[in-house]
Each structure stands twice: as C-alpha cells, then as structure tokens.
Amino acid sequence: MEFIFDIDWIAGSTEIYLLLVINVLVIYSVVYTTSPSYNYPVLLKNITWLSVLVLILALAINMLNPLTGSLIFNNLLIIDSFGNIIKTIVLVATICVLLSVLNFNKLENLNLVEYLLLMVLACTGMILLISSYDLIVVYLAIEFQSFCLYIMAALKRTSEFSTEGGLKYFILGAFSSGLLLFGCSLVYGFTGTTNFQQLFQISSVFSEACFLQYEDAILAGMLFILVGLLFKLSAFPFHLWAPDVYEGAPTSITAFFAIVPKISILVVLVRFFCYLSYGFFLPCQQILIISSFGSMLIGTFGALFQKKVKRLLAYSAIGHVGYMLIGISSGSIEGISSTFFYAIVYIIMVIGTFIILLSLRNFKHFNKINFLNDLSGFAYSSPLLAVAFSVTLFSMSGVPPLAGFFSKMFIFVSAINAGMYSLATCGVLTSVVASFYYIRVIKIMCFELQKAIFLTYEIDREKSLLLGISLFFMLTFFFWPSFLMVSLHNAIFFICV
C-alpha cells in the first residue's frame, strides 16, 4: 500500500507541485506587499516572473513524468499521454499570457498582484480538470477554476462594464454549476458511482433488465452535465455571458479568458462521452450537433454587427467553439484529434492577436484601442505590426496556406468521414462569411484614413519573441501539418479504445 501511495505522489507530481507552490507565492506576496519595513513594494513584475518560473518548472515536471497510463488517488485522477500533451499546452499558454501582460499592467496601472496569482490558480484548476477521472473531481476542478475567473472578470472595480460582466458571469456560471452538480447527482443516484470507467461499464449493459428502468434518469443526468460543460465553453445557447465579460474585463484578463480555459473543458467532454455506449452517446451527440450549428451561426453573424474589438473577438470565439464541437460530435478518433488540433492552432492565433492589441495605444489620448475604427490607418503608423495582425486575421479566417486553413480542413474532413454533411456544409459557409469581418478589420487598418496616431515606441522583448513564434508557426505550418495531428491521434487512440 505504501508503494502504491508513492506511485500516486510521483504520477500526480505536477498537480501536487502547483498546489503547494501557489501557497508559497500567496504568502510571499501578502507578507511583502503589506510590510512597512519594505515600504509596501509593488511586486507586479516580481510576481509575474516568479509565476512564469513556477509554471516552467511545472512544465518540466509534467514532461519528465515517468508514469503515464496511471490511475491515482483511488481512481480519482488519471495520468496519460493525452492529458500530458494538453497540460503542456495549458502551461505554455498561461506562460505566454503572463509574459505578454508585463508592460500592459504598467501602462494600465494594474498594480494588483492578486490577479496574477488568480491566473496561476486558475491554471492549476485546469490541470486538475484535465486529469479528472471522476464526476466529483470534475465538478470541484471546474469550480476551482471558475471562482478564479469570476473574480478576474470583475477585478477592475472602477469600470461599470467590468462589474456588469463579472456579475453576469458569476450568476450564469453559478446556475450552470448547479445544473452540472444536479446531473452528477442523478448519475450517482441511479448508478451508484461517479467514476468514469465504472460508468462506462454500466452504460455498456444499460439494455439489461436491471438498468433499463433507470435509463431515462441516467440519460437526463448526462444531459444536465453536458449543458453545464457547454456553458463553460460559451457554446450556443449558453454564450450570452461571453461578449460582456470579454468587453468588461481588462484586456490582459480577456486574453487569458480567450486563450486558456476552453481546452480543459474539451478534455472533460472527450473523457466523459468517449466512455459512453452508443445508446447514451446518441442523444448527447444530437445536442452537440445543435450547439455546433448554433455556435457557428451566432458567432459568425453576431460578429458582423460588432463595432468594438473585444466584442468582435468574443463572437469570433463562439464561432470557433462551434467548429471544435464538430469534431467531438463526430465521435471518431479522427474527429477528436481534429478538435484538439484546432484548439491548439486557435490558441496560437489568439496569442498573436492579443499581443498586438496589448501593444496598441492612442498616442494623443493614451487610450487603449476599443473600437474597430480606432485601428484606421494603423498600417501607416506601424506597418510591421499591421502585417503581423493581417497574417493572424487571415489565419483565423482559414486562408491557405496558413495554419488556420489546415485546422478547419481537418475538422471538415472528419465531419464528412462521419457522414455529417450538413454540419460540414454549415461550417464551410460560416467560415466564408466569417472571412468578411476579419477582412473588414484589415481594410480599416490599411485603406481608411488615419484618425489616430499610435504609440510608436518599441514592443518589449517578451511580446516580440512570442509574436515572432506565433507568426512563424502560422506561416510555416504547411511544411509539416501532419506532425501535431499524428501525435494527438496516437494519444487520443488509447482513451477511445
């Protein structure tokens, strides 16, 4: 028993390390920022770099973990190659966000170390969520990350938009968490277990007489769980909070919302619904298809009428979630691999987008960019940044041979192979329509008269490096498109068989 316990600690070393070190960071920041002997120092830059160091060490521990394919802590968590790949993506994305907001926090006078700690805490919750192998752990991990996100959304107390967005996010999020917990209670009440593997064994014999009378109740519980997860993804019809939260939160926090949380929820969707038998998966598949249709349509046509940059990106994110749901609703290994491939490419594109937005300032009024028209003439004042922004937008719209084209192509091919022709057709058409509002931003930057003078001092080193890596990936990905796809396919194969 002692040997098994030792294995648990080794296999779960990434999660345990993050939970321990975040306490050290909190104590360090509280002691120093409230100490009169140190003259109440502002530790914003200090905590940022410490957080980056903590996450880099967590990344190293995760990549060097010798135990994969292990069920630990009484089968509550699973450590496998698929989870390790996604954890790596989450950790790297969080590091990128922390590095990109260094100079922005100084310009915005965001002298709050709390939101940096909340960012690391939310990342820890996502790591736990990725490793979850039990419905109770899923619920606790989602609430762990959600409470951090609620506080971050309403952190800018002087802004009415931030307060409104944070309150709306909290109320709707609490309602969705209630639905998720109610679904878990129904599943537990009629099956006697919350463990994924045991639920799979039960679902495989649901046609037996002893389970047939409980089939509808178990299915209702699973549908409630699905609804709760779709809210966290900001998928149709649970997307209403996203535009207000994106607009109200400071841009540095919006970047975190847009980049990191969604991929961990996608992992839960795959882990949970891959273990279901066909009888249970079919109704859930219908809801996923409807949500995918609605997300693509709402995200595409909602963005056409937006005049603010962050609201445009919010509707764009809703549309991209619709594309990701295509792969999951197909129920095939190819479709699931395409979904996570799409999510990784999307994260890289959004990192590039927000690095540019975090770097822009109106020189005359020293305001951040809010409206699309504020970008008019941007190509004349900062041509290199305008080119980088244009490449990123073209990639998000799916223009070949950029990385965004391949991500959409793999999604549509998986839908066609699964026989979901209407979903693939809708995806292609909405992708074409979505190109309009991306190209409209490029038109404003390049062809409209300059209405504002942008700040011309250099972007800091960290942002330049991240933007260069993002652009390099988008421009050169067509040389090796199968490498990432094959790695994901091999990792996902072992959880679906």
- Where along the chain do its domains lie? 2-496
23's tokens: 């306490």
Reported as a single tens digit per residue, the pLDDT across 205-233 is 655 555 566 777 888 888 899 999 999 88
More confident: 273 or 433: 433
Please state, in angstroms and rounded to a whole number, the distance separating the CA atoms of residues 417 and 401: 23
More confident: 404 or 202: 404
Among 52-56, 124-128, 457-461, name the one with the lowest average pLDDT.
457-461
310's tokens: 């962050």
- Terminal C-alpha separation, the chain: 29
Reported as a single tens digit per residue, the pLDDT across 380-426 is 877 888 888 999 999 998 888 888 898 899 999 989 998 889 999 99
pLDDT of residue 253: 84
Average pLDDT for 175-181: 91
Please state, in angstroms and rounded to a whole number, the distance separating the CA atoms of residues 415 and 339: 11
pLDDT over 50 at 456, yes or no = no
Among 22-31, 235-244, 269-278, 449-458, name the one with the lowest average pLDDT.
449-458
**What pLDDT band is residue 238 in, cutting at 50, 70 and 90?**
confident
Pair 168, 241: CB distance under 8 Å: yes
Mean pLDDT of the chain: 83
Average pLDDT for 12-23: 88
Q: Is the pTM of this model over 0.85?
A: yes
3-state SS track over the chain? CHHHHHHHHHHCHHHHHHHHHHHHHHHHHHHHHCCHHHCCCCCHHHHHHHHHHHHHHHHHHHHCCCCCCEEECCCCEEECHHHHHHHHHHHHHHHHHHHHCHHHHHHHCCCCCHHHHHHHHHHHHHHHHHHECEHHHHHHHHHHHHHHHHHHHCCCCCCHHHHHHHHHHHHHHHHHHHHHHHHHHHHHHHHCCCEHHHHHHHHCCCCCHHHHCCHHHHHHHHHHHHHHHHHHCCCCCCCCHHHHHHHHCCHHHHHHHHHCHHHHHHHHHHHHHHCCCHHHHHHHHHHHHHHHHHHHHHHHHHHCCCCEHHHHHHHHHHHHHHHHHHHHHHCCHHHHHHHHHHHHHHHHHHHHHHHHHHHCCECCCCCCCCEHHHHCCHHHHCHHHHHHHHHHHHHHHCCCCCHHHHHHHHHHHHHHHCCCHHHHHHHHHHHHHHHHHHHHHHHHHHHCCCCCCECCCCCCHHHHHHHHHHHHHHHHHHHCCHHHHHHHHHHHHHHHC
pLDDT of residue 276: 67
Q: How far is CA 22 from CA 96, 118, 167, 264, in A?
A: 18, 10, 26, 20
